[in-house]
Homo-oligomer: A and B are copies of this chain.
Amino acid sequence: MYTAEIVTVGDEILIGQIVDTNSAWMANELNLAGVKVNRITSISDNAEAIIRALSEAEKNADIILITGGLGPTNDDITKKVLAGYFGSTRMIVHEPSLKFIESFFIKRGIVMNELNKQQAEVPDCCTVIPNNHGTAPGMWFEKGKTVCVSMPGVPSEMMKMLPDVLALLKKKIVLPEIFHKTLMTYGIPESELAKKIEIWENSLPNDVALAYLPNIETGVKLRLSTYVSGGKQIIEEEFSKLVTVLGKYAYGYEPDTLESVLGELLLEKVATVATAESCTGGRIAHRITSVSGSSAYFKGGIVAYSNEVKANVLGVDPADIEKFGAVSSEIARQMAEGARKTLNADYAVSTTGVAGPTGGTVTKPVGLCWFGIATPDGITTFSRNFIGDRHGNIAAASSVALNALRLRLIEKSYSY
Contacts and interface: CB of A to CB of B under 8 A. Distances in A.
A211 B75 CA distance: 7
A37 interface: yes
Nearest to A254: B17
Contacts of A356: 292
Interface string A74-116: 0100000000000000000000000000001001111111011
B313 A342 contact: yes
B109 A385 contact: yes
Report, as a range, how many residues of chain A touch the other chain: 35 or more
A27 to B, nearest CB: 3
A192 interface: yes
Interface stretch (A120-128, A169-177, A261-269, A388-396): A388-396
Contacts of A223: 12, 17
A294 interface: yes
Contact of A133 (B211, B312, B389): B389
A245 interface: no
A212 B289 contact: no
Given A20-B23, A285-B303, 15 more contacts: A14-B38, A38-B43, A39-B43, A73-B191, A108-B385, A133-B392, A156-B392, A277-B285, A282-B284, A282-B301, A285-B286, A285-B305, A289-B303, A292-B355, A295-B306
Interface of A: 11-21, 23-31, 37-44, 49, 52-53, 56, 60, 71-73, 75, 104, 107-113, 115-116, 133, 154, 156, 160, 180, 182, 189-192, 194-195, 209-214, 216, 223, 225, 275, 277, 280-286, 288-290, 292-295, 298-306, 308-309, 312-313, 342-344, 355-359, 367, 385, 387-392, 394
